[in-house]
Structure 1
Amino acid sequence: SPDSTIKKRRHLQPNYFQSLLKIAFFWVIVPLINKLKPKFIFFPHWSYIVPEEVLNLVECVCFHESDLPHGRGGSPIQNHIARGHKVTKISALKMSKELDAGPIYLKRTLSLEGLAEEIYIRASKIVAEMILDIISNESVPKDQKGKVAVFTRRKPEQSEVHIELKSLEELFDHIRMLDASEYPRAFIRYGRFKFEISRPALRTTSIEADLRITKCLTGDRE
């Protein structure tokens, strides 16, 4: 299933996984492209580099949860929520050698309400509609316009709850934006233990959530 694939992917080193992908592209994907000669290949929820040789063979289309060129780079949903945004765009773009810099086919609005997993499910439905739109209308992509802003992909240690969060709303956003299978959950360290927080619900004067307590690994305590 897609969920199990994502969970397995988290345990692979990025460089190792990228190397496996490159082998798969050249030994499996490229021969298929040459045989089937598709007009498009779509890459929904994709975060790996596609070899330039493949980009030169066929129009490769990916989808980025930001109003490009603002928000190029990693973890766009989490970066938008951390900045207090309530909505963003999904940009369908032609993949290019430069990350998230290709011309745009179309954009659609995406609400950032709810848990991260719920946002991804919502986004997947919008992406499916965008794919049909691109195919049926034979959309021609247009160059990106506007000021470029680049996001940095989140690191696992950034999931820790820090005292800089000043309100229940900020804490709620921090917890919910990480509540998806491919991100480390929000957590608090206390002594030898790690408290992972998920499924938050914001009430008037409190947050209700699930809590998972584990013993810290040596690296977690550093």
Structure 2
Amino acid sequence: MEKTFIVLSEKKWHKQVYAALKLKFGEFKWVLIDQKEEFNLVNLENLKPEKIFIPHWSYIIPASIYENYECIVFHMTDLPYGRGGSPLQNLIVRGKTETKISALRVEKGLDTGDIYLKKPLSLSGTAEEIFIRSSSIIEQMIEEIVSENPSPKKQEGEIVLFQRRKPEESNIESISETKEVYDYIRMLDCEGYPNAYLENESFKFEFFNATESSNNEIIANVRIIKK
């Protein structure tokens, strides 16, 4: 019987990952799910997937799914360091320049599942550039899991929890260092994230496309929104 693998992500850059995997592993059936309403037990019972690979998904995965199907999520920290939400932003505000992508099995606890493998990732550039860079690494990780079928292992090391960042934490009003302002702008410069901003009584100023100059200045685009 032909094996079926699912790629689950609502991000546009993961469509290329799906296409590449479908081309490389033509002997298998590959299915891309990018809509919440399509990810349900009825569809999964029809597809009977061998594994469900999850590069990015903004919704809670029900126990009825992860208890019945092997769901593998890709988290942008060296687990168990950085369990929790907003991993990219939490890493950058902590001054990290490198991280690892952890491929782990989905279970009840948040990012507590067993680890299949890890790969290094640079945190340079904007959030979108980092996510696009990570997608090629995730593609390689999926290839390795499909080809070698590694057994996942328990997480080891000190547990560090991240909290999901709130939109109001994108306000740069209280920041006094140029480098920190630059990091805030770049780490939020991606579709679906609240841009770094300043505001007064009448306007909100959102910043993106930031670059650092040699004389300790930042050049960035600004979107001015009437409140």
TM-score using structure 1 length: 0.83
Counterpart of 1:95 (choices 90, 100, 106) is: 106
Counterpart of 1:184 (choices 190, 194, 198) is: 194
Unaligned runs of 5+ in 2: 1-9, 13-34
Match of 1:109 in 2: 120
For residues 135-194 of structure 1, what are the alpha-carbon distances to aligned partners after superposition, in whole Å with 9 as ceiling and x for unaligned? 10011100001111111111111111132x232111100110000011111111123111
Counterpart of 1:42 (choices 45, 48, 53) is: 53
Match of 1:121 in 2: 132
Match of 1:212 in 2: 223
Instruction: Work out whether residues 33 and 57 of structure 1, in 8 Å CA contact, stay in contact via their aligned partners in 2.
Output: no
Counterpart of 1:58 (choices 49, 54, 69) is: 69
Aligned counterparts of 2:70 and 2:110: Cα–Cα separation in 1 = 15
Question: Sequence identity, in percent?
Answer: 47
Instruction: Work out whether residues 97 and 124 of structure 2, in 8 Å CA contact, stay in contact via their aligned partners in 1.
Output: yes
For residues 193-218 of structure 1, what are the alpha-carbon distances to aligned partners after superposition, in whole Å with 9 as ceiling and x for unaligned? 111110000012211100111112xx
Counterpart of 1:201 (choices 207, 211, 214) is: 211
Unaligned runs of 5+ in 1: 4-19, 217-222
CA RMSD of aligned residues (A): 1.9
Match of 1:170 in 2: 180
Aligned counterparts of 2:191 and 2:150: Cα–Cα separation in 1 = 33
Aligned counterparts of 2:44 and 2:224: Cα–Cα separation in 1 = 48
Larger CA deviation: 114-123 vs 166-175? 166-175
Aligned counterparts of 1:174 and 1:130: Cα–Cα separation in 2 = 29
2:103 equivalent to 1:79: no
TM-score using structure 2 length: 0.81
Aligned counterparts of 1:91 and 1:139: Cα–Cα separation in 2 = 13
Match of 1:69 in 2: 80
